[in-house]
Amino acid sequence: MGLRAKSHSYMPSYLKIRDTFISTFNDLKVLDIDAEFGDTSIYFAKNGAKVITVEQVSTNYNALLQNLKLNEGIKVTLENMQ
């Protein structure tokens, strides 16, 4: 007796939910505390949110600065809490 897998495509449902949620980012203010290298901050900022990013670990802060340089045009207010 073999196993059978049923193929489902969840992508259309995911895209509908994502697009509904992302459309609200323009009025969203995000405070990203312990941002590490800024992936979450960049994601929200790319989609129109106003982001304040806080990082206190110096190695993470430096990685965050480099990540922001690689993502030109991203506007994030950055706070160094060292």
Closest CA to 51 of 75, 22, 79, 20: 75
Helix H or strand E encompassing 38: none
**What's the pLDDT band for 25 if we cut at 50, 70, 90?**
confident
pLDDT at 2: 54
The closest of 12, 66, 70, 77 to 44, measured between CA atoms, is 77
The full set of domains in the chain, from first to last, is 21-80 (3.40.50.150)
Higher-confidence position of 11 and 33: 33
Q: What's the pLDDT score for residue 8? A: 53
Alpha-carbon distance 39 to 35, whole Å?
Answer: 8
Q: Say whether pLDDT at 7 is over 60.
A: no
Query: How does the average pLDDT of the chain come out, rounded?
Result: 83
- Give 55-81 pLDDT, tens digit per residue: 999 999 999 999 999 999 999 999 887
- Length in residues, the chain: 82
